[in-house]
């Protein structure tokens, strides 16, 4: 046995990459982070990835994180994954086709048809969410209609983090948090909804059992996975959860931590969320479950840091070489948009003048993306204008992102000290699986949820109202 302090590994399998954090289970100190990139393919609304590359990336990222460390001290591992992705497997557990990712908008017609079947209120009552193109149910329906052989040949249906967890321990499992993003899981009943499964023509036997929480130990690391990862066979494998739910754990949000504290996450997608005891029911938000039994109402946009980086590249500028947009308004809806629900949208630029500079155009892209994310804050409970925002994700490390959010929100901004909050949240889930401790309480004891607080600045209402005026005609009736 190792005499080193106990360690855990938290895995963040996101759209673009896998990150594996090696964490001291007692102090929460991140000792190392390994990274490996993913490839996303598709055009005209399609966004797909081979799930096998997620596994290869996980193996590579864990190997990087373990360099120079005592692998024998690792006691548990948990995976947090990108939400909503549809993975269909054959009888041997291999993917039948590339996974349909959350930002694949081809399923927008199926989402609209499903919404029509029960009405928005019917879906809200059952799942807490109204189907949009991102939701797994819409993707399954798209597969049934467009690739019936793949749908009919499926021996198992998984979410991305489920697929990886099963590779680790050989046990099919999911958790309430990630399951709540499928639109076939009932957030009231805490179980798959038989009527919705019937509507979708989806056999419940194809789905993984739902563990009590993402920290539940669902199995032990198999010998084969242990050899690939360089870890000890038999260590605890947690049920894991979705990436947003893991970030909430890393921030110490939940029943054993902070409630009703709004978070803005700036990554490939932009999200706003808060942990609440009350189950929300509004079409403006996805009414997700948190991994600890509370709820995680969330607004999500498709276009955030990746879209702004694309604009910077088109302009030949560094991402930080931006100025306020002036009269220019740029809505960088390069992949359609989820919130507001505009799956067929493209980027929109207006307000150009002879005096408009490239730097202002880039600043306008920041403003358009930040506005779209912050606009969803109004639907969250208890988020009056003076409530501080916790700012996380890759954008939280960018000066222009931080200052744009401060300027458009007029709120204090808290910058957590831990950069890899999804992986750290997963690490807390791994501690829970290994020891039985509550992972939110673990993260609170680690103190990863707060550090520097930036005071509010005067809110730039002129820019806000200018962008709002451009967006308003596009969202009539939505």
Tokens of 152: 């009919």
Examine the residue annotation and report whether 203 is marked as an active-site residue of this protein. no
Q: Would you say residue 435 lies in a domain?
A: no
Tokens of 325: 């947009």
Q: How far apart are CA 278 and CA 294, in angstroms?
A: 8
Whether 79 and 155 map to the same domain: the answer is yes
Containing H/E element for 298? strand 295-301
Residue 244 backbone dihedrals phi, psi, to 5 degrees: -65, -40
Q: Would you say residue 311 lies in a domain?
A: yes
Beta-carbon contacts of residue 453 (< 8 Å; ≥ 6 apart): 388, 412, 413, 414, 415
In angstroms and rounded to an integer, the radius of gyration of the C-alpha atoms of the chain is 21
Q: How far apart are CA 150 and CA 161, in angstroms?
A: 21
% of the chain surpassing 90 pLDDT? 85
Q: Would you say residue 187 lies in a domain?
A: yes
Q: Would you say residue 38 lies in a domain?
A: yes
Cβ atoms of residues 421 and 247 within 8 Å: yes
DSSP for 229-258, please give it.
HT--TT-EEE--EEHHHHHHHHTTBSTTSB
On the question of pLDDT at 320 being above 60, the answer is yes
Whether 384 and 399 map to the same domain: the answer is yes
Q: What is the CATH number of the domain that holds 204?
A: 3.30.420.40
pLDDT at 400: 98
Burial of 232: CB neighbours in 10 Å, binned 0-12, 13-18, 19+: middle
Using the 3D structure, point to which of 256, 282, 309 is the last residue of a domain: 256
pLDDT tens-digit series, residues 102-143: 999 999 999 999 999 999 999 999 999 999 999 999 999 999
Whether 349 and 222 map to the same domain: the answer is no
Average pLDDT, the chain: 94
Whether 275 and 203 map to the same domain: the answer is no
Whether 243 and 267 map to the same domain: the answer is no
Question: Domain total for the chain?
Answer: 2
User: Which residue is catalytic, options 104, 162, 178, 243?
Assistant: 243
Helix residue spans in 376-438 (DSSP H): 399-409, 421-435
Whether 380 and 411 map to the same domain: the answer is yes
Q: How far apart are CA 20 and CA 36, in angstroms?
A: 9
Whether 338 and 294 map to the same domain: the answer is yes
Q: Would you say residue 446 lies in a domain?
A: no
pLDDT at 283: 85
Using the 3D structure, point to which of 256, 272, 306 is the last residue of a domain: 256
Whether 277 and 160 map to the same domain: the answer is no
Q: Would you say residue 439 lies in a domain?
A: no
Q: Would you say residue 143 lies in a domain?
A: yes
pLDDT at 5: 87
- 135 SS3 class: coil
Q: How far apart are CA 318 and CA 323, in angstroms?
A: 12
pLDDT tens-digit series, residues 149-183: 999 999 999 999 999 999 999 999 999 999 999 99
Q: How far apart are CA 430 and CA 436, in angstroms?
A: 10
pLDDT tens-digit series, residues 412-458: 999 988 889 999 999 999 999 999 999 999 999 999 877 789 999 99
Handedness of CA 255, 258, 260, 265 (dihedral sign): negative
Whether 237 and 365 map to the same domain: the answer is no
Write down the pTM of the prediction. 0.91
The tally of CA atoms less than 13 A away on the side-chain side of residue 95 is 22
Q: Would you say residue 372 lies in a domain?
A: yes
Whether 275 and 215 map to the same domain: the answer is no
Handedness of CA 400, 20, 32, 63 (dihedral sign): negative
Identify the residue whose tokens are 């109004």.
378
pLDDT at 216: 96
Whether 96 and 174 map to the same domain: the answer is yes
Whether 115 and 250 map to the same domain: the answer is yes
pLDDT at 387: 83
Closest CA to 281 of 137, 138, 123: 123
DSSP for 310-331, please give it.
HHHHHHT--TT-----TT-EEE
**Three-class secondary structure assignment of 134-181:** CCHHHHHHHHHHHCHHHHHCCCEEECHHHHHHHHHHCCCCECHHHHCC
Range of the domain at 125: 7-256
pLDDT at 425: 97
Q: How far apart are CA 194 and CA 192, in angstroms?
A: 6
Using the 3D structure, point to which of 256, 280, 296 is the last residue of a domain: 256
Tokens of 244: 């947003």
pLDDT at 3: 66
Candidate from 355-359, 379-383, 419-423 with smallest mean pLDDT: 379-383
């Amino acid at each position: 046995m190792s005499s080193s302090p106990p360690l855990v590994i938290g895995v963040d399998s996101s759209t673009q990459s896998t990150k594996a954090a090696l964490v001291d289970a007692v102090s929460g100190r991140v000792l190392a982070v390994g990274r490996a990139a993913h490839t996303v393919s598709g055009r005209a609304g399609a966004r797909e990835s081979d799930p096998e590359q997620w596994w290869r990336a996980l193996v590579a990222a864990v190997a990087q994180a373990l360099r120079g460390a005592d692998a024998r001290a690792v006691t548990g591992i948990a995976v947090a994954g990108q939400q909503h992705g549809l993975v269909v497997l054959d009888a041997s557990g291999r993917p039948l086709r590339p996974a349909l990712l959350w930002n694949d908008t081809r399923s927008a017609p199926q989402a609209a048809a499903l919404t029509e079947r029960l009405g928005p209120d019917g879906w809200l009552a059952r799942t807490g969410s109204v189907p949009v193109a991102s939701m797994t149910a819409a993707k399954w329906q798209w597969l049934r209609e467009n690739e019936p052989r793949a749908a009919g040949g499926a021996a198992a249906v998984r979410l991305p983090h489920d697929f990886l967890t099963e590779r680790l321990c050989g046990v099919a499992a999911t958790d309430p948090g990630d399951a709540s993003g499928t639109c076939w899981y009932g957030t009231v009943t805490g179980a798959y909804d038989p009527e919705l499964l019937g509507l979708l023509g989806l056999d419940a036997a194809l789905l993984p059992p739902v563990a009590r929480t993402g920290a539940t130990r669902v199995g032990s690391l198999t010998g084969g996975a242990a050899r690939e990862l360089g870890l000890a066979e038999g260590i605890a494998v947690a049920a894991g959860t979705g990436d947003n739910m893991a970030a909430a754990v890393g921030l110490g949000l939940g029943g054993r931590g902070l409630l009703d504290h709004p978070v803005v996450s700036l990554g490939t997608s932009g999200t706003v969320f808060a942990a609440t005891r009350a189950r929300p029911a509004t079409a403006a938000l996805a009414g997700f479950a948190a991994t600890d039994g509370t709820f995680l109402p969330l607004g999500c946009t498709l276009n955030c840091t990746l879209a702004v980086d694309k604009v910077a590249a088109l302009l030949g500028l560094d991402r930080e070489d931006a100025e306020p947009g002036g009269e220019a308004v740029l809505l960088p809806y390069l992949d359609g948009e989820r919130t507001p629900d505009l799956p067929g949208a493209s980027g929109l630029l207006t307000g150009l003048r002879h005096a408009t500079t490239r730097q202002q155009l880039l600043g306008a892209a920041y403003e358009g993306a930040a506005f779209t994310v912050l606009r969803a804050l109004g639907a969250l409970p208890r988020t009056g204008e003076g409530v501080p925002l916790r700012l996380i994700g890759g954008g939280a490390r960018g000066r222009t992102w931080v200052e744009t959010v401060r300027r458009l929100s007029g709120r204090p901004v808290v910058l957590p000290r831990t950069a890899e909050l999804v992986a750290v949240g997963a690490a807390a889930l791994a501690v829970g699986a290994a020891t039985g401790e509550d992972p939110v309480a673990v993260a609170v004891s680690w103190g990863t949820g707060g550090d520097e607080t930036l005071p509010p600045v005067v809110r730039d209402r002129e820019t806000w109202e200018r962008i709002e005026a451009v967006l308003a005609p596009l969202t009539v009736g939505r």
